[in-house]
Structure 1
Amino acid sequence: MKLVTALMVFCFFQFSSSQVYKKSEPFAHTFSIVARDTVTGNIGVAVQSHWFSVGTTVTYAEAGVGVVATQSLVNPSYGPKGLALMKQGLSPQQALDALIANDPGEMYRQVAFLNTKGEVATHTGSACIEEAGHVQGKNFSAQANMMLKNTVWDAMAKAFETTKGDFNDRIIAALEAAQGEKGDIRGSQSAAILIVKPVATGNSWEDVVMDLRVEDNPHPVQELKRLVKLQKAYDFMNDGDLAMEAGDSKKAEALYLSAQKLFPENLEMRYWYAVNLLNNKQYDMAHPILKSIFEQEPNWKTLTKRIVKNKLLVIPKEELEKVMNL
C-alpha cells in the first residue's frame, strides 16, 4: 500500500507544477470549518474573513471526494490538487503531507482537508500570524489565523458539536461562535459556505447542495445565515414547482406554504401558494392573498392570465374573472 501511495504521489507531481510561495498569493487570514454530516453524508466547508470575496479563494469541494479550506497566505492550488489526490484514493493526511512536502512556503499555510468518510487532516504553519491554531473532532476540523484571541477554534468546535438543527445550521453556528470570540483581529468583510453530496451523481449541477457567498458586507456571517434560510425557502419553492409540473397541486400547495412561512413578506412565495389554493378550489382563501399581491405589484395579475394557457392555473372561466377583478 505504501508503494502504491508513493507512486500515486510521484505521478501526480510529474504532471503538476511545483507549489511555491509567491508574494502575489492572497492574504486570506481567516477562520473556517470543514465538516461532514452524519445524517445525510453531505460534506461542507465554510469561511469568514476580513478579505473581499473570501469564498473564491479558500473553499473547494467535490461531491464523492471531499472538501478543502486553504487560507492564511493562500496557496490556491491546495484546493484542486488536494481534491485530486483524495480522488485517487489518498487519505486527507496523505494528500496534505504530499502537498506540504512540495511547498517551500508551507510555514505560511493553514489548510484543512476532509473526505467523505469524515477523516480530516489539518496544517497550521509555524509562520501563520497569531493567534493561529486548529482543533479536530469527529467529522470536522476548525481552524483560524490572525485572530484577536486564541479561543476561536475551540469555540467553533463546541458550537458545531452541540448545535441542534440541519448541517448548514451547525456550520453557521460555528462561524457565529468565532465571531462571538471577536474573530478576525481586523474585523469582518466576507463569508461563504459550500456543501456537496457524499456521492457524485454524474450531473455536476445536482452535486452541489449549497453554494452561497457574501462578498462584501459589514456583518457577513449574519448575512450568510439569512441567505441559508432563504435557500431553504427556495428549496421548498423548487420542489413545489416540480409538484406543479407533475400535476400534484396539493403537494405543491404544502411546499409553497412551507416556503412562505420562512419568508412571509416574499411576494412570489405568497403568489404560488395562492395559485395552488385556486387549483385546489380554495377560492376564498386565495382571493385576499392575491388581492394584496396585486395591489403591491400589478404585474402579478398579468402573469396570472398567462399561466392559464400552459395549465399551471386550472380554474373555471368565471373564477378567473373574479381573480382578474380583485
Structure 2
Amino acid sequence: MKQFLLFTVLLFISILNSKAQNPEISGDAFAHTYSIVARDAKTGEMAVGVQSHWFSVGPLVAWGKSGVGVVATQSFVNPAFGPEGLKLLHEGYTPEEAIETLINNDEGRAFRQLAILGKSGKNAAYTGENCVAEALHITGDNFSVQANMMLNDQVVPEMAKAFTENVNLPLAERVVAVLKAAQKAGGDIRGKQSAALIVVGPDKVEEVWKDKKIDLRVDDHENPIEELDRLLKTARAYEFMNRGDLAMEEGNVEKALEQYGTAESMFPENLEMRFWKAVALANSDRLQEAKQIFDRIFDEDENWRTMLKRLPKAGLIDVSEEELEMLTRQSSKN
C-alpha cells in the first residue's frame, strides 16, 4: 500500500512538473480516462461512453449531435475540441481532417487524446506522445476506443474486442459492455469515480431537447459503471412508460396496458409504473383488477390515493364518481 501511495505521489509530481513546463495546458482539466465513440450500423445511432477516476467526467469528455457525429476529448482535456469538432463535421470535414485541424492548432497537442466519429461511421483518433502510459487508441469499423493512464496495455484491446463481440446488443448496452470490459482488464490505474453515456440519433433534429436520445451521468460513485448500467436499465423501462403515456393520449388503452406492463416487469419495485398500469386498467373498465393494484400501492404509500382522486379533473381517468370512490376506498383488510 505504501509503495502504491508513493507511486501515486511521484506520478502527480511528474505531471505537475510537466504542466509547469507547458503553460498551454496549465488550466486544463485533468481527466485521464478510457472512452469509446461508436455507431450502430443498423440504426445509425452514435454514442460516447466514458469512465474515469475524476469527478463528473461526462461534461468534459463526451460530446454529440444528432445527424452530425460524436467526440471524445480526454487526457489533459481541451473542452473546445467537443463543440469545435462537431462544428467541423457539420461543415463537411472528415473525422481525420477535423482531428488534424484541431490538433495542429493546439500547443498542448502532446498531452491530448481525441476521437471523432461521423454519421457515416468513419472515425479517427489521436494520442499525444506525452499522454501518461498506458495510453493507446484503436480504431475499427464504426468505432474508436482510447485510453490513457491505464493499469496495463490490455485495456484498450479488450475494449475493441468487447465492441466487436457484442454486435447484437443495442448501441447503448454495447457501449456499457465495452466499459465493463475495460474495467475488468484493469481500467484506470487510479481506480473508479465517474462515468457517462450519451446516444444521439442518425438524423438532424430542429428541437434541441430531442438531440440526445440517451444522456446519463454518474458524477461520483464507488462503482460508476455498475451504476451507469442500472440507470440505463431504468431509462429503458421509462421508455416503455412514455410509450404507454402516448397510447393513453391516443385513447389506445390496450396498447398502453402493454407498454406499462413491460415497464413494470423491468422495474417491478417502482410504484409509479404500477400506478399507471392500474389507471389504464380502470380506463378499460377492468375495475376490479385496477382496485387490487391500487390497494397494494396505497398500502405502501398513501399519497397515491390522493393522486388518484385528482386524476378525473385532469382528464386522465374516465370513471364515475361511484367508481372512483370504490377505487380509492380503504381496503377491507385495513
Relative to the length of structure 1, the TM-score reads 0.92
Q: Is 1:31 aligned with 2:34?
A: yes
The equivalences for 1:12-27 within 5 A come to 21-27=24-30
Q: Is 1:223 aligned with 2:227?
A: yes
Question: Secondary structure of 1:21's partner?
Answer: helix
Q: What is the alpha-carbon distance in structure 2 between the residues aligned to residue 44 and residue 226 of structure 1?
A: 18
- 5+ residue gaps, structure 1: 1-19
Moved more, 102-111 or 214-223: 102-111
Question: Secondary structure of 1:121's partner?
Answer: strand
Q: What is the alpha-carbon distance in structure 2 between the residues aligned to residue 88 and residue 148 of structure 1?
A: 38
Query: Residue 255 of structure 1 corresponds to which residue in structure 2?
Result: 259
User: Deviation at 1:158?
Assistant: 1.2
User: Deviation at 1:320?
Assistant: 1.8
Query: Residue 266 of structure 1 corresponds to which residue in structure 2?
Result: 270
Q: Is 1:103 aligned with 2:106?
A: yes
Q: What is the alpha-carbon distance in structure 1 between the residues aligned to residue 312 and residue 71 of structure 2?
A: 48
Query: Residue 10 of structure 2 corresponds to which residue in structure 1?
Result: none
User: Deviation at 1:210?
Assistant: 0.4
The equivalences for 1:43-82 within 5 A come to 43-82=46-85
Q: What is the alpha-carbon distance in structure 2 between the residues aligned to residue 152 and residue 107 of structure 1?
A: 21
Question: Secondary structure of 1:314's partner?
Answer: coil
User: Deviation at 1:224?
Assistant: 0.4
Moved more, 51-60 or 200-209: 200-209
Q: Deviations over 1:83-128 (max 9, x none)?
A: 1111110000001001111112111011000000000010011111
Question: Secondary structure of 1:126's partner?
Answer: coil
User: Deviation at 1:186?
Assistant: 0.3
Pick one of 291, 294, 304 that aligns with 2:295.
291
- The percent identity for this pair of structures is 49
Q: Is 1:88 aligned with 2:91?
A: yes
Q: What is the alpha-carbon distance in structure 2 between the residues aligned to residue 321 and residue 92 of structure 1?
A: 63
Pick one of 98, 113, 119 that aligns with 2:122.
119
Does the Cα contact within 8 Å between 1:66 and 1:116 map onto a contact in 2? yes
CA RMSD of aligned residues (A): 1.1
Q: What is the alpha-carbon distance in structure 1 between the residues aligned to residue 109 and residue 328 of structure 2?
A: 67
Which residue identity does 1:120 align to in structure 2? N
Q: What is the alpha-carbon distance in structure 1 between the residues aligned to residue 264 and residue 129 of structure 2?
A: 50
Which residue identity does 1:201 align to in structure 2? V
User: Deviation at 1:316?
Assistant: 3.3
Q: Deviations over 1:232-280 (max 9, x none)?
A: 1111111211111122111111111111111000000010011111111
Question: Secondary structure of 2:146's partner?
Answer: strand
The equivalences for 1:121-200 within 5 A come to 121-163=124-166, 164-200=168-204
Relative to the length of structure 2, the TM-score reads 0.90
Question: Secondary structure of 1:199's partner?
Answer: coil
User: Deviation at 1:289?
Assistant: 1.4
Query: Residue 322 of structure 1 corresponds to which residue in structure 2?
Result: 326
User: Deviation at 1:205?
Assistant: 1.1
Query: Residue 14 of structure 1 corresponds to which residue in structure 2?
Result: none
Does the Cα contact within 8 Å between 1:21 and 1:75 map onto a contact in 2? no
Query: Residue 3 of structure 1 corresponds to which residue in structure 2?
Result: none
Q: What is the alpha-carbon distance in structure 1 between the residues aligned to residue 46 and residue 24 of structure 2?
A: 29
Q: What is the alpha-carbon distance in structure 2 between the residues aligned to residue 279 and residue 148 of structure 1?
A: 57
Which residue identity does 2:130 align to in structure 1? A
Q: Deviations over 1:127-186 (max 9, x none)?
A: 110001011110000000000011111111111111232111100000000010120000
Q: What is the alpha-carbon distance in structure 2 between the residues aligned to residue 204 and residue 257 of structure 1?
A: 31
Q: Number of aligned pairs?
A: 307
